[in-house]
Structure 1
């Protein structure tokens, strides 16, 4: 039992390190940093719009590491939003919000590249 717990702990620590030894960052950690550093600099209307998008993005990306966000997951998000009745413009707003968070994550060295920018 103790050995299994230790193994689980070691595997979790290993999972949190990328190939360069840098810690991997979650979407949630990047979002928290974004809210601290960026949100307060935005106009109130923009903050409200971002908040709306954050609520839509969270079920799809909230539990992921940033480097797990890829074209397939983005496609799933878009498909689910369409199925839920969201317009193309609304989906683009959500993706633009995610681009902003991921661009900051690149600047903070949380990830190497913005995965949303490559998404068509």
Structure 2
């Protein structure tokens, strides 16, 4: 409430670090355990590279540097896309919390990052249901 009152008075809003936003996101998230585990893995890398930035400092240039750093270390494009998806989720929540105005991830072009190969999934026996056999007339 105080932050909204400060904004209404034209005072500067407190600056939240990306690391703080990631922690807040992961602690308050209603995601499944497996998804949280994946997000935590990506969050460690993101915090190491971008955690010292406030949410308002992160823009397309910062994201481009992040992608270039990840590519230089040999990380696959699919993993970088996953990192950006985590960042996008965090910024979406940060907007809801009033910590950020917009998400720089939505303005960042991902055209240079290749998509992963589609997965081939095979059905288990219990998932396979055959159509009923019709008696011959």
The TM-score normalised by the length of structure 1 is 0.78
State the alpha-carbon separation in 1 of the partners of residues 90 and 98 from structure 2: 12
Question: How big is the shift at 1:45?
Answer: 1.7
Question: How big is the shift at 1:60?
Answer: 1.8
State the alpha-carbon separation in 1 of the partners of residues 20 and 77 from structure 2: 28
Q: Is the Cα–Cα contact under 8 Å of residues 46 and 83 in structure 2 kept in the other structure? A: yes
Aligned counterpart, 2:116: none
State the alpha-carbon separation in 2 of the partners of residues 37 and 53 from structure 1: 17
SS of the aligned residue for 1:110 comes to: coil
Task: Tell me which structure has the larger Cα radius of gyration.
Answer: 2
Matched, 1:31 2:22: yes
Q: Is the Cα–Cα contact under 8 Å of residues 19 and 51 in structure 2 kept in the other structure? A: yes
State the alpha-carbon separation in 1 of the partners of residues 51 and 12 from structure 2: 23
The TM-score normalised by the length of structure 2 is 0.69
Aligned counterpart, 2:119: none
Unaligned runs of 5+ in 2: 1-5, 110-137
State the alpha-carbon separation in 2 of the partners of residues 56 and 32 from structure 1: 13
Q: Is the Cα–Cα contact under 8 Å of residues 26 and 40 in structure 2 kept in the other structure? A: no
Give the number of aligned pairs.
Answer: 102
Unaligned runs of 5+ in 1: 1-16
Matched, 1:113 2:102: yes
The answer to which structure has the higher helix fraction is 1
RMSD: 1.7
Q: Is the Cα–Cα contact under 8 Å of residues 26 and 36 in structure 2 kept in the other structure? A: no
